[in-house]
Structure 1
Amino acid sequence: MSHKCSFLILFFLVNIGWQVYSSAQDADGRCVCTVVAPQQNLCSRDAKSRQLRQLWEKIQNMSQSIEVLNLRTQRDFQYIMKMESQIKGLRSKLRQMESNRRVLLTKNFQELKGKIDELQPLMPVLEQYKTDAKLISQFQEEIRQLSMVLMGIQEEMGAYDYEELQQRVISLEGRLRNCMSRLTCGKLMKITGPNTIKTSGTRFGAWMTDPQASTKNNKVWYMDSYTNNKIVREYKSMSDFIAGVESRTYSLPFHWAGTNHVVYNGSLYYNKYQSNIVVRYSFESGRVVTQRALESAGFHNVYPYTWGGFSDIDLMADELGLWAVYATNQNAGNIVISQLEPHTLQVLASWNTEYSKRNAGESFMICGTLYITNSHLTGAKVYYSYSTKTSTYEYTDIPIHNQYFHMSMLDYNARDRALYGWNNGHQVLFNVTLFHVIKSNDDS
């Protein structure tokens, strides 16, 4: 039987120097995660760990001293307790004698009273011993409690043998990788945000990062307007993009149409203006390396999204590869999904949906499923999805907050697990929540 889990995003446990860089959680709340332990010198030389060890040694010394003091006190206390019993017995006998003085000789009475007078000063000493014994008992309990707290702190700080700790981490990491290898592709459950990254450009445009790039490559590409432009601006990082510090510009040989471009594995894919031709432009070589027409695809505002802008052909990428979303006369203007070979741009497979391209606000692919919004305006939601795996569709109801009232670009980035949007001159990011299924060993 399959288990279900949610994929959690990257986070850091800064306070103790550990890093948890991915995790998976099943429906019962059980979590398996990958953690990176701090370097060995952090465990052995960290100031907090050293202070903890010094404090622990002091506690042990205090405990030993209290034990010695307790033994001595208990020995003296036993002796004093015997004296207390004797004093009480003498007092009782003296009261009897005083009540019957006629049968007592004066000499015997005075002798007995003298013994009591000799013992009388020991009474305060006895009380002090009782107090000291009680105080030592309290000390012992406090030491015990403190020792338990210190042991807990040691566990939290990882004050164990480093090699043993490292083996435990490796074991946990292996279990997570085994779990992640059995994760099926995710299904969209929720969209949150947006986070406004920048406000720039015209009302329409596109911006993106490369989902195939390494984690060290955080370049951003920026393409303003939906037509009459062929300048692509490149930024080395998101911070440079926000600051407006360009690293390079590219002048494309052909103008683009629409805002539905995508950067994938170092190349820009876009729709050539006034045509159904898809162009692949290599940033490395600075030239067009491939171009191919999408057979029967409408273009130049024949089948655009609801906002127009020559958005007939939408190029996108997800975990499974490169895609083109468009409409044809043969499919009555409804959306067609085609998977493209990234180098040759040949159509590998196509699926005909029953959703009108002109009624769609925007669309994006996640794990081979096309998600379509019902509007580009305020109040939009993801209304329809089509799975290329099962060739089936379903109606959905996933709200998306159109903060700036006009969405002219919306694309999923599999590396960032986020939606990039161009919202009325604002470059925004949406977070997505995906639902995963863990395949059992019996699943194919």
Structure 2
Amino acid sequence: FMSVSAPPSLLFLLGEALYPSPEEGWQIYSSAQDADGKCICTVVAPAQNMCNRDPRSRQLRQLMEKVQNISQSMEVLDLRTYRDLEYVKNTESLMKVVDGKLKVASENPRSLNPKGFQELKDKVAQLLPLLPVLDQYKNDAKMILRLREEVRNLSLVLMTIQEEMGAYDYEELRQRVLLLETRLHSCMQKLGCGKLTGVSNPITVRASGSRFGCWMTDTMIPSSDNRVWYVDGYFKGRRVLEYRTMNDFVKGQNFVQHSLQHPWAGTGHVVYNGSLYYNKYQSNIIVKYHFRSRSVLVQRSLSGAGYNNTFPYSWGGYSDIDLMADENGLWAVYTTISNAGNIVISRLEPQTLEVLQTWDTGYPKRSAGESFMICGTLYVTNSHLAGAKIYFAYYTNTSSYEYTDIPFHNQYSHISMMDYNPRERMLYTWNNGHQVLYHVTLFQVIKTSGD
């Protein structure tokens, strides 16, 4: 810790790309003084869900899964036992009849004539299905012994963990972790914008769909809304799947389907404040579709914008118009004939889709693999194939650009969608039929009120 009279400026490196260890907290990598004598620190925020990686927490989750499995086994046993018991009850009267006839026959064998003997055989035959039921009872008894042993072992392990953890039970600890994560997320959201300096290793969320597609969460609404939207294919489609949570998306369950009035083109869709913005097929029209009302709120032509594979990214796929959102709002990335095929950035008014301001980056769109906006800066990859890196950055706040060299692992070698989510500070990508996430590292100067 350094004690200085002047209020410090903090240089934050946010994200997991340079974060050394999930077991460690906030990391101060270096400290120095600037020309004015103010303290400058380089800090890395810890990975979210850090506490979930604690070995005891992981062990508790495994134990909870075992308990769930045991509960399911007990339910199966209960159902089967109830069913078999009903069968035994139904055959009880038959068994009494057979028992009575056998006693009479044993006491007076001559009383058993051929007809009576056949009836007795028939009754016994009706009892034969009871044998496998009794065999099942034997197997169930063995299973109950195994379950009893597992429960005993679980109890011992839980007691040991409870002693290690002290007074807190697991649920209380989990709530404390969730509270800390919420506070960390809130803190990160309050931080200002910064310059991209690194991208983490890819996190494959799911493998589904065709080679080309788009998936996303809302870039603006509160973090309590965890819906995921999934759009497979790159042209003529109308089907959008809405999953309730990220966990449901991973499992492919609990979704509703939206059928768009107009088909889409490309994979440059974005969900912003409860609406889907997308390029209408075979046009340069942008459509705003509202999920809750399932209706088109507005559609507007993007004047002069190329469409129908006139100016796509290098991978093609009708990717002429790429819509995206960042901390500064809603954007369209495209090009026009008058701009000679170079990438144009326009900031849009979300309600009316009017163009508020436009920049010509000078970068040829057909040479770009994909692009995304962070804090008003457009970052462009040099390819959609293996070996791609973030190669070019255009800063709208200064109308200037620079060539960059930010590597990232293009694990599945064919990216057809790459978008930044400012709410989560992550990159969403569609990589050769895989839905993949990247954490980003942003470099920023945060000044206190005294600066």
Range into which the TM-score falls when normalised by the shorter chain: 0.5 to 0.7
After superposition, the Cα gap between the structure-2 partners of 1:25 and 1:212, relative to the gap in structure 1 and judged at 3 Å, is farther
- CA distance in 1 between partners of 2:288 and 2:417 (Å): 19
* Match in the other structure for 1:396: 404
* Match in the other structure for 1:302: 310
Q: Alignment partner of 2:391: what SS?
A: strand
* Match in the other structure for 2:206: 198
9, 27, 31: which is aligned to 1:3? 9
215, 221, 224: which is aligned to 2:232? 224
Contact kept, 8 Å, 1:191 with 1:433, in 2: the verdict is: yes
TM-score by length of 1: 0.62
The Cα shift of 1:246 comes to 3.4
Q: Alignment partner of 1:254: what SS?
A: coil
Contact kept, 8 Å, 1:373 with 1:381, in 2: the verdict is: yes
Trace 1:26-425 onto structure 2 (pairs within 5 A). Answer: 28=31, 29=41, 183-425=191-433
- CA distance in 1 between partners of 2:195 and 2:318 (Å): 29
* Match in the other structure for 2:437: 429
Q: Could you give the per-residue CA deviations for residues 306-331 of structure 1, whole angstroms, max 9, x where no partner exists?
A: 00000000000001100000001111
The Cα shift of 1:24 comes to 9.3
- CA distance in 2 between partners of 1:376 and 1:352 (Å): 22
- CA distance in 2 between partners of 1:385 and 1:32 (Å): 23
Contact kept, 8 Å, 1:24 with 1:180, in 2: the verdict is: no
Q: Which amino acid aligns with 2:318?
A: F
The unaligned stretches of length 5 or more in structure 1 are 35-156, 158-172
After superposition, the Cα gap between the structure-2 partners of 1:203 and 1:32, relative to the gap in structure 1 and judged at 3 Å, is closer
- CA distance in 2 between partners of 1:221 and 1:180 (Å): 23
The Cα shift of 1:266 comes to 0.2
Contact kept, 8 Å, 1:323 with 1:337, in 2: the verdict is: yes
Contact kept, 8 Å, 2:13 with 2:45, in 1: the verdict is: no
- CA distance in 1 between partners of 2:356 and 2:30 (Å): 36
Higher mean C-alpha displacement, 368-377 vs 238-247: 238-247
After superposition, the Cα gap between the structure-2 partners of 1:208 and 1:30, relative to the gap in structure 1 and judged at 3 Å, is closer
After superposition, the Cα gap between the structure-2 partners of 1:328 and 1:190, relative to the gap in structure 1 and judged at 3 Å, is same
Q: Could you give the per-residue CA deviations for residues 212-266 of structure 1, whole angstroms, max 9, x where no partner exists?
A: 1212111000000001210000101111001111321100001100001000000
Contact kept, 8 Å, 2:12 with 2:43, in 1: the verdict is: no
Contact kept, 8 Å, 1:313 with 1:324, in 2: the verdict is: yes
* Match in the other structure for 1:113: none
Q: Could you give the per-residue CA deviations for residues 372-405 of structure 1, whole angstroms, max 9, x where no partner exists?
A: 0000000000000000001000000001211111
The Cα shift of 1:423 comes to 0.3
Aligned length: 299
The unaligned stretches of length 5 or more in structure 2 are 1-6, 32-40, 47-166, 168-182
Alignment root-mean-square deviation, CA: 3.2
Q: Could you give the per-residue CA deviations for residues 348-382 of structure 1, whole angstroms, max 9, x where no partner exists?
A: 10101110000000000000000000000000000
The Cα shift of 1:190 comes to 0.4
- CA distance in 2 between partners of 1:383 and 1:8 (Å): 20
Contact kept, 8 Å, 1:418 with 1:432, in 2: the verdict is: yes
After superposition, the Cα gap between the structure-2 partners of 1:267 and 1:25, relative to the gap in structure 1 and judged at 3 Å, is farther
- CA distance in 1 between partners of 2:322 and 2:253 (Å): 28
Q: Which amino acid aligns with 1:187?
A: K
Q: Could you give the per-residue CA deviations for residues 397-418 of structure 1, whole angstroms, max 9, x where no partner exists?
A: 0012111110000000011111
TM-score by length of 2: 0.61
Q: Alignment partner of 1:419: what SS?
A: strand
**Higher radius of gyration, 1 or 2:** 1
* Match in the other structure for 1:47: none
The Cα shift of 1:186 comes to 1.2
After superposition, the Cα gap between the structure-2 partners of 1:393 and 1:382, relative to the gap in structure 1 and judged at 3 Å, is same
Contact kept, 8 Å, 1:226 with 1:310, in 2: the verdict is: yes
Contact kept, 8 Å, 1:5 with 1:27, in 2: the verdict is: no
After superposition, the Cα gap between the structure-2 partners of 1:31 and 1:370, relative to the gap in structure 1 and judged at 3 Å, is closer
- CA distance in 1 between partners of 2:384 and 2:340 (Å): 22
Q: Alignment partner of 1:193: what SS?
A: coil
Q: Which amino acid aligns with 2:12?
A: S
The Cα shift of 1:441 comes to 4.6
After superposition, the Cα gap between the structure-2 partners of 1:433 and 1:268, relative to the gap in structure 1 and judged at 3 Å, is same
